[in-house]
Structure 1
């Protein structure tokens, strides 16, 4: 598993963005943020909820819903958002630091 990769969760279609450091691959859990289709989100905060194009569809990172999930729940990666690392880190910083 790799930080900033997008995975399908469990047996459904829900998407999760892996936020956990690659140095902690030995843990049995991963810290993730859900990714939800932009059309399913009523309102979002630009700095807290960045948007990403995944296979031609816009998704919103719901940073405020961070969670630890069992690593075995993350299926195959479907996208790599490492090129958006600065944006993703800024969103988590905004959640924890307020700036």
Structure 2
């Protein structure tokens, strides 16, 4: 497991939330949980006026997804089994979304 890795969602909400993004520092990899942010189908947000820096859009495997930063949560590490990619090259956007949520800027 690694920070900014994208994993297939393995719970019952895979239709609306097919992926989650690991945002926890790798320095705490010995914990049995990881903090993740859901990556939700962008079509769920067409009618909402979301703040782009809080809930940025990413293209994953040719489809658009919204990082639902306000829904960040810790989940057991054992559920993160199918890594499909990463957002390391976009980490500045992810960190800006987390900063917006916690610091307001």
TM-score past 0.5 threshold: yes
1:45 aligns to what SS in structure 2? coil
TM-score, normalised relative to structure 1 = 0.94
TM-score (norm 2): 0.89
Q: Tell me if structure 2 keeps the 8 A contact 1:20–1:31.
A: yes
Residue 30 (str. 1) matches residue 34 (str. 2):
yes
How many residues matched?
99
Deviation at 1:51, TM superposition (A): 0.7
Query: For structure 1, which runs of at least 5 residues remain unmatched after alignment?
Result: none
Equivalent positions of 1:48-67 (< 5 A) are 48-67=54-73
Q: How far is the alpha carbon of 1:79 from its aligned partner? A: 1.4
- 1:16 maps onto 2:20 in alignment: yes
Select the residue among 78, 93, 96 that pairs with 2:84: 78
Aligned-residue offset at 1:11? 5.0
Q: CA RMSD of the aligned region, Å?
A: 1.1
Runs of 4+ in 1 over 6 A off after TM superposition: none
CA contact (8 A) 1:31 1:66 kept: yes
